Amino acid sequence: MRKILYSLCAFVALGSVQPVCAQFNLGKAVSAGAKAVKATQISDAEVAAMARESVQWMDTHNKVCDANDPYTQRLNRLTEGLVEADGIPLNFKVYDVIDVNAFACPDGSVRVFSSLMDLMTDDELLGVIGHEIGHVLKHHSKKAYKAALLASAGRDALSSGGGLVGKLSDSQLGDLSESLVNSKFSQKEEKEADDVGYEFLVKNGKNPWAMAMAFEKMQELEGGAKQSAMAKMFSSHPDTAARIKKMSERATKDGYTRPADPAK
Ligand SMILES: [Zn+2]
């Protein structure tokens, strides 16, 4: 597993936080063919359909908590009312894995890892989810996935004509899924996702203090011992303190009261 973490897109696995259980399965890399494919050969609808296939691959190859699992029930509770994002229907699942992460996909699938849920309060999780959905709303996720399709597994299949859906192998889908899980976004995109994520929460009746609170937790983790890799990755993203300041000032200005931090 690569050492992720990034701001809210990907929190690095914090060593041995959890008892041993499954690690997130991303499949194995495949070598790419050499044929050039123009971006225009993939429609938005096809990108969405392919992203859906990649999500289904991840759902099949990782342990998904069932409907009665306390993780699922908690996620359902805190995401209640989050039904769609700009017309894209949302669906939420928990992966029972030791990695600490969460991501949202262009097809509206949101996946939260159980180990992230162990670290965060409901408000903090909502902030992460709002931010990730912000990337979907601004089409960053689609752009990243499309780039991955063009750069790797999909290239040969595309060049053979007739579209991509249903044509990729299991390992190719696994390879592509990494671009959904570990997307690297620019600082501009991160800021946009913060703003749009904030607005998404407000629109859906959630307290947008969640955004600032999620960043506070991120800052707290960032300061933790052994995570020099995490700090390094953070430095390439918008300054965490500045993000906390911006989001908390906005929530205050908009008249929201900061929720109490419940003892977990
Ligand atoms: Zn992000």
The half-sphere exposure of 184 on its side-chain side, counting CA atoms within 13 A, is 8
Q: Is the pLDDT of residue 145 over 80?
A: yes
Angle between helices 209-222 and 240-253 (to 10 degrees): 160
Confidence at residue 160, expressed as pLDDT on a 0 to 100 scale: 62
What is the mean predicted confidence (pLDDT) over 101-114?
Answer: 92
Higher pLDDT, 151 or 230: 151
What is the mean predicted confidence (pLDDT) over 146-170?
Answer: 71
Local confidence band at 89 (pLDDT 50, 70, 90 cut-offs): very high
What's the 47 CA to ligand 1 centre distance in angstroms?
Answer: 20
Q: Is the separation of the CB atoms in 42 and 149 below 8 Å?
A: yes
DSSP 64-88: B--TTSHHHHHHHHHTTT--EETTE
pTM (2 d.p.): 0.81
What is the percentage of the chain residues whose pLDDT exceeds 70?
73
Flag whether 134 is in a domain.
yes
Q: Is the dihedral of CA 194, 113, 24, 141 positive or negative?
A: negative
Residue-wise pLDDT tens digits, 50-65:
889 899 999 999 999 9
Confidence at residue 221, expressed as pLDDT on a 0 to 100 scale: 75
What's the 9 CA to ligand 1 centre distance in angstroms?
Answer: 4
Flag whether 263 is in a domain.
no
User: Which residues touch 225 (CB under 8 Å, ≥6 apart)?
Assistant: none
Flag whether 259 is in a domain.
no
Burial class (CB in 10 A: 0-12, 13-18, 19+), 67: exposed
80 is catalytic: no
Confidence at residue 9, expressed as pLDDT on a 0 to 100 scale: 42
Residue-wise pLDDT tens digits, 1-49:
333 333 344 343 333 344 456 777 766 443 444 445 555 677 888 888 8
Flag whether 129 is in a domain.
yes
The one catalytic residue among 46, 53, 84, 132: 132
Q: Which residues surround ligand 1, an ion (CB under 5 A)?
A: 9, 190, 193
**Rounded-to-integer distance, Cα 82 and Cα 85, Å:** 8
Flag whether 122 is in a domain.
yes
Higher pLDDT, 33 or 154: 154
User: Which residues touch 19 (CB under 8 Å, ≥6 apart)?
Assistant: none
Flag whether 26 is in a domain.
no
Confidence at residue 227, expressed as pLDDT on a 0 to 100 scale: 43
Q: Is the separation of the CB atoms in 165 and 50 below 8 Å?
A: yes
Give the total number of structural domains in the chain: 1
User: Which residues touch 177 (CB under 8 Å, ≥6 apart)?
Assistant: 26, 27, 54, 55, 57, 58
What's the 216 CA to ligand 1 centre distance in angstroms?
Answer: 15
Domain region containing 131? 40-253
Flag whether 60 is in a domain.
yes
What is the mean predicted confidence (pLDDT) over 190-208?
Answer: 96
Flag whether 236 is in a domain.
yes
